[in-house]
Amino acid sequence: MKNKFFIALLAFFALATANVNAQQKIGYISLDYILAQMPEAKQVETELTTTKTQYDNMYQQKVKDFQTKLADYEKNAPTMADVIKADREKELQSMQSSIEEFRQNSSVSLQKKQSQLLQPLLKKIEDNMHAVAKENGYAFVFNYDAGQGTTPIVLHAPDDANISDLILKKMGVTPKPFAPAPATPAATTPAAPAKKN
């Protein structure tokens, strides 16, 4: 008898919990879609592109200088005194190290700058997402975008669960039809120069 009562009680709580859960609204956003439409994102993209161009130009100049010195070394090596030859080889190795260090440092610096510039935009989206979710009774909001080259977090959902446009409107941005956003500049630089033999 106690077992039947216990099972009935469990069933009652299970149904009550299922009923409460069924009434909770679940929504999702597309962070990339929202970012692509924010005017501030265009400023961030412009600033990142400018910085990347500066890094690329500096990198190319370093590679050009290295290639010029390497060509001169290869041309004149047979007639150089051993001391001069050793000094030039040391200089070329130092230049190569400097190029590689600059490539790595510029990549890290660009990633940091991108993160720093995007942080206020992401905070603005988050704050408005919380406000929209609260105003419209959404208990949970997921991000559709899991990141470049990954599987989305939300694999299937009804269109009316997408609250991205509501967030844009909350921020004062008129949503435009979905179009793939132009990629922000990658935080990489060209490949390292060929090593001397």
pLDDT in tens, 47-77: 999 999 999 999 999 999 999 999 999 999 9
The answer to whether residues 142 and 154 touch, using CB atoms and an 8 Å cutoff, is yes
pLDDT tens string 88-97: 999 999 999 9
Map 16-76 to HEC letters: HHHHHHHCCEEEEECHHHHHHHCHHHHHHHHHHHHHHHHHHHHHHHHHHHHHHHHHHHHHH
**Nearest-angstrom CA–CA distance, 147 and 80:** 55
Per-residue model confidence (pLDDT) at position 93: 97
* 171 CB burial (10 A radius; 0-12, 13-18, 19+): buried
Q: Which two tokens mark 65?
A: 């200088």
Instruction: Tell me the pairing of strands 138-143 and 25-29.
Output: parallel
pLDDT tens string 20-38: 455 789 999 988 899 999 9
* Cβ neighbours, 10 Å, residue 149: 5
